[in-house]
Each structure stands twice: as C-alpha cells, then as structure tokens.
Amino acid sequence: MGEEANKTERPTEAERRARLASERVDLLERRVDQAFAERALALNALVHASYSNENPESGFESNERLELLGDAVVDLAITHRLMERFPRASEGELSKLRARIVNEEGLARIARALKLGEVLLLGRGEELTGGRERASVLADALEAVIAALFLSNGLPSVMRFVDVVFAEALDGVAHGRQGQDHKTLLGELAQRLYKVPARYRVVGEEGPDHEKIFEVEVSIGPEVYARSRGRSKKEAEQAAAQATLAMLAPGTPAKSGDEPAP
C-alpha cells in the first residue's frame, strides 16, 4: 500500500512538463501584463531550439517559426508608431529610425527589462553557456512573444504591448531626430530673453492607462505659449518646447499637430 501511495504521489515526466509549461506561461503573462487567449502559443514562444532538440519526447516545438513572424510584426508595429509621430518623414528616414529601435541589442535590452530570460526553456548546453543572457537568444525570444501575442490576441494587443515596452526607445528617436533637446534649448532661450525658466504643466489626460495621451502646456513667466500632446509626459513636453521655439526662434521647425496656446 505504501508503494502504491508513492506511485500516486510521484508525478510522471509528462505531468512534470505540463506543470512546468503552465508555470512558465503564468510568469510570461505577468511579465507582459496580458493574458494569452491561446496559452499554447505563449509556451511555444518560450521554447528555444536547444530545448526541443534535447527533449524531443516533450513535444514542445521551438520558437523559430514564431520568431520569423515576430520580426515582421514588430517592424509593422514600430513603423506604424513612427509614421504617426513623424507624418512628414520620408520612407528612408522612417527606415533609419526603425533600425535604431528594432535591432538585436535594442530588443535584447527590452527582453532583459522584462526578465524574459528567466522564463525561457533552454537546453542544457545553452543554459551552461549563458544563453539566458545572450543578446541573440533574448532578441529572438522577444520577437517570438510578440508573434504569440499577435496570433493569440490580435494586433491591438501587440500595439498596447509595444506602446509600453518600446516607449523609451520611441521617445529616444523622437528627441534625437532633430539632433537636439528642445526643452534644454527653450530653457536657455527663456533665460536669455526673459531671465525666467520655461515651465511645463499637464493640462489633460485621456485614454486608458495602457494608451494614455498627455496634453502639456509650456509657459514663460505669466505667458502660456503652446500646448502639445504625446504618449508620455516627456514626449508632450518636448513637443510643446519645440512649438514654442518655433514661435520665439523662427528657424526651429514646428512639429505637425502642435499649436499655440489660446
């Protein structure tokens, strides 16, 4: 009877793998802050080729096919956001801006921030040689996760994810596009002309938390000069500063959509 109890309590290899898979998907959902409608796709995104090669009996397919699709989906999502931010940019400029965001190191950096390496299923050899921190492994895994979101939940789910995890990278290319920090330039100009700093105030917010739009106004002394909107406070402040510079220093191009304050 004791032997029978031990047999009952000891999970089979299939049960152990099923529990492991469920735990990894749970962790991934917490990392991306979304639930996958098709959890099998989420698991597939986490399986490195080394694991499926070393454990063929598991039945787990590697994430290579998802990685291929994810490469295209992330290009689509980032290009969409860049076209929204830079409606007058040429195809060539948009391509260069996208390349500054969608590259192995940039994707790996986001994967590390999400601690994606911790939830990957790796083969023993890949594990022992530092696969969980290898840039190529992490970048490929992030693309696979994005593909899984796309197939499981649809493009809107991908765009929500991109708006959160790529926000800093998108802000970075937005600020660097003109080769200058408009807030810094405006601060220097305000001090030189009026001997007071430029001040920024959030005057409006709209949309759900994951797609919030901020409206910021900039003032110098008692005068309000411009209001601008952005997907982050930093982006809106930079846009408002750029619009104000265009008013005070006509050589500075105003960003499309910015307007003087009423």
Active-site residues, by number, are: 71, 143
- DSSP H or E segment with residue 146: helix 135-153
Report the distance separating Cα 45 and Cα 24, nearest Å.
Answer: 11
Distance CA(141)–CA(45), nearest Å, equals 6
What are the distances in angstroms from CA 258 to CA 147, 167, 239?
A: 35, 20, 7
CA atoms within 13 A on the CB side of 4: 1
Cα(261)–Cα(119) distance, integer angstroms: 49
SS3 205: strand
Q: Which residues contact 39 (CB under 8 A, 6 or more apart)?
A: 22, 25
